[in-house]
Amino acid sequence: MPTHVKRAFKYRFHPTDAQAAELSRTFGCVRKVYNLALAARTQAWTRQERVNYNQTSAMLTVWKKTGELPYLNEVSSVPLQQALRHLQVAFTNFFGKRAKYPRFKSRKKSRKSAEYTTSAFRFRDGRLTLAKMREPLDIVWTRPLPEGVSPSTVTVSQDPAGRWFVSMLCDDPSVQPLPATDTAVGIDVGLNHLLTLSTGEKITNPRHERRDRAALAKAQRRLSKKARGDGANRAKARRKVAKIHARIADRRRDTLHKLTTRLVRENQTLVIEDLSIRNMVRNRSLARAVSDAAWADFRSLLEYKAQWYGREVIAVDRWLPSSKLCSACGTLRERMPLNVRTWACDCGTTHDRDVNAAKNLLAAGLAVTACGAGARPQRSTPGKQSATKQETPRREP
């Protein structure tokens, strides 16, 4: 684990009219440069040629001198260069078969953001001033930055609800491995209960989307009745829908952060199930509930926090019959319909379906750590393993 962890600190801020106008121009220029570079690289791709970052950077210099794109000179050049670097990363991932071919940015749907490096901003005494701006940003400091630390990059963004955010990437020396413990826990995710632990604890699913479903439906009906186009009334209705979505997402994210932080602090080993969320949301009956539960976000938060604090997350193969397998004697039942929440094994043990599944996940995960049977890294980052059902016992580097 590195000595210092790179950590992003995100804050909301309230720009002045001049700052909002400058940032909006910057967002538009970033999108334009990205799309121009993507078009140039796509044309070269059809000719069986490759264009790299240095070539697109030279193209940017030419674009600024043309009569059609003089407005590119009105904004800071750093976010434009960063857009080209982001495009280079997208192509690197495409050639490495880790992502699809890059897509053009849409004025209405794409995320509005601009990234500034150290040469394009000034951070002094807790005041952040961006290039091309005279006044510092009015940031709502909900928590302080680590003492004596300055950001290496600053990303400014605006969400669909119209809120402005600034994200500062810093080295955080306060993130250090926690003292090792001998505790381990199996975690079974669900819909009635968001999490069921092998200890028997059940965490209720808050169902954040359901709480605002009526208000969301009303706002969406009003949006659907507005004339399509760029009218002010449609923009206002769209922003109301976005605000409800943002409120739901904020509550969901807050809940998941609190849960994952608590689990990582209390346990050395955390065992989860390697679910295919993408396939599960194809079920129309479950898609809304599965999306609201945000199991993928839960796993992502759990894994990076475990990596920060020296914990281990093990992902057990999704085909493990954790619900049908008796955690006491190992007997496997042939069928276990979803409506069966408790069941009795022939050995005399009565099981709660979810608690039993969590215990079986824990047992499978501990088997991985004990002998490495059927273990392999789940992803490229450390601290993540997957117990697969049919592999020969081996441990890969």
- How far is Cα 110 from Cα 31, in angstroms, rounded to an integer? 9
- DSSP category for residue 120: G
* E strand or H helix that includes residue 359: helix 353-371
| Count of residues making up the chain | 397
Q: Is 273 a residue of the active site?
A: yes
Question: What is the per-residue burial (b if ≥16 Cβ within 10 Å, else e) of 145-158?
Answer: beeebebebbbbbb
Nearest to 154 by CA among 174, 164, 168, 142: 168
DSSP string of 21-74, one letter each residue: HHHHHHHHHHHHHHHHHHHHHHHHHHTT----HHHHHHHHHHHHHSSS-GGGGG
Nearest to 249 by CA among 297, 208, 196: 208
Residue 48 CB coordination number (10 Å): 6
Nearest to 364 by CA among 198, 152, 162, 228: 198
Say which of 22, 273, 303, 312 is annotated catalytic.
273
Say which of 188, 209, 303, 312 is annotated catalytic.
188
- How far is Cα 389 from Cα 316, in angstroms, rounded to an integer? 9
* E strand or H helix that includes residue 306: helix 295-308
Q: What's phi and psi for 51, nearest 5 deg?
A: -115, 130
Question: What is the per-residue burial (b if ≥16 Cβ within 10 Å, else e) of 362-383?
Answer: bbbbbbbbeeebbbbebeeeeb
3-class DSSP assignment, residue 211: helix
Say which of 22, 115, 209, 354 is annotated catalytic.
354
- How far is Cα 37 from Cα 83, in angstroms, rounded to an integer? 9
Nearest to 133 by CA among 57, 34, 11, 24: 24
- What are the residues whose beta carbons fall under 8 Å from the beta carbon of 159, sequence distance 6 or more? 165, 242, 246
**Catalytic positions, please?**
188, 273, 354
